[in-house]
Amino acid sequence: MKRLLIVLLVLTLALVLSACAGGPAGGPDSSSNDTGDTGASTNAGPQLAAQLSVYNWDDYIDEGVLAAYEEQYGVELIYDTYASNEDLLAKLQAGATGYDVIFPSDYMVNQMLELGLLAEINTSDLSNWSNINPAFHNPPFDPNNGHCIPYQWGTTGITYRAGDPYFEENTPDSWRYLFDPAVLEQYSGRGVNALNDQRELMGAALAYLGYSVNETDRAHLEEARDIILQAKPYWKTFNSEDYDDSLLIPDEVVLSHSWSGDAANAYWSTYDDATEDGNWYYAIPQEGGVRWVDNVCITASSERYATALHFLNYLLEPEVSAAITNFTYYASPNDAAKAFIEADILNDPGIYPSQAVFDKLEWLRDVGDAIFIYDEMWTAIKG
């Protein structure tokens, strides 16, 4: 019901905005790098293409946001989804050239830049860029935001079933609840899920061992591989695509390696007004781990550059950014959106952690040639 209300609110917003002059301004005019931008015209500046292809993570945007853009600007959005950064990269490296807008995570932006897969942008062409918190300006993986804008950010930790007998006495505040066989024996029969994500799972194991999540030393990476292989027999599933909806909410597992927004979705989807509580809690392990930011970028192969840039600027509208966060339960880098984000989300330390917790976490960074060692470890883990 909560998500349905958000969709209705966004659709209403589209009707209000379409009655007004303007809209998301900025972007190049129709003569620059946009040979496919020959579709609908708007009073927002560029001639917009009839279609725009958007490739995003599964369940990572309120569909009302997409519908509102189509309604207001007359652009049909061709929307497709992927399950991991590696899936996205593999698709583009295989020669897929039809995608215009993509949503890679921090470290993947760096890899894609090295491969020449991303178009340049100039944030001065985005009238809504000033809404972004300066903490997300000039990230190390994309200097001066020259190719991408921040979309959503969050943390990675452990989601566990409230009311489970074991967790009533033992709060899973350490990665040992995911990796220690002696601990896993206590509840693994009731189901444990690990994220099917190379860097996230290896990063969690590395943090548990006391190493950086961006470790490049082969010996340390082999330690992490072995920790994972020892725990793997106790895991029921490898799922990073829809585990909140398919595993957490229907009680198919009692513990999961999780992203913060998916944990919040499971909590609010099982919230009971009578008890004023949900079925799922989230903990950031004391050893530290990953904080991350997903980004919106335009592919180097896009023939609809102006329309893609127009869409990026639309996503920076305060009400639009807030609708996305209210749907995904991930934190927004958009300061102007906070006025429209639900109070329960803004006040949730699992979504907006304290500075002390934030400082214990690391951004995932490009590991250079060590990525081939990660690939080797991942092949052994998934074999």
Domain boundaries, the chain: 2-21+31-150+293-346, 154-291+350-382
pLDDT band at 32 (very low <50, low <70, confident <90, very high): very low
Name the residue type at position 13.
L
Class of domain 2-21+31-150+293-346: alpha beta
Output the CATH code of domain 154-291+350-382.
3.40.190.10
Q: What phi-psi label fits residue 337: left (phi over 0), alpha (psi between -120 and 50 degrees) or beta?
A: alpha
Q: How many residues does the chain have?
A: 383
- β partners of residue 334: 132
- CA 156-160-165 angle, to 5 degrees, is 155
Segment 98-137, tens digit of pLDDT: 999 999 999 999 999 999 999 999 999 999 999 999 999 9
- Residue among 271, 246, 265 at smallest CA distance from 193: 246
The per-residue pLDDT for 366 is 86
CB-count exposure of residue 177 (10 Å: 0-12, 13-18, 19+):
buried
User: Are the C-beta atoms of residues 304 and 49 closer than 8 Å to each other?
Assistant: yes
3-state class (DSSP) for residue 89: helix
2-21+31-150+293-346 and 154-291+350-382: same fold? yes
Tokens of 112: 């894609």
42 vs 111: which has the higher pLDDT: 111
Kindly state the average pLDDT of the residues 348-373: 92
What pTM, to 2 d.p., does this model score? 0.80
Characterize the bridge pairing of strands 289-298 and 101-102.
antiparallel
CB-count exposure of residue 22 (10 Å: 0-12, 13-18, 19+):
exposed
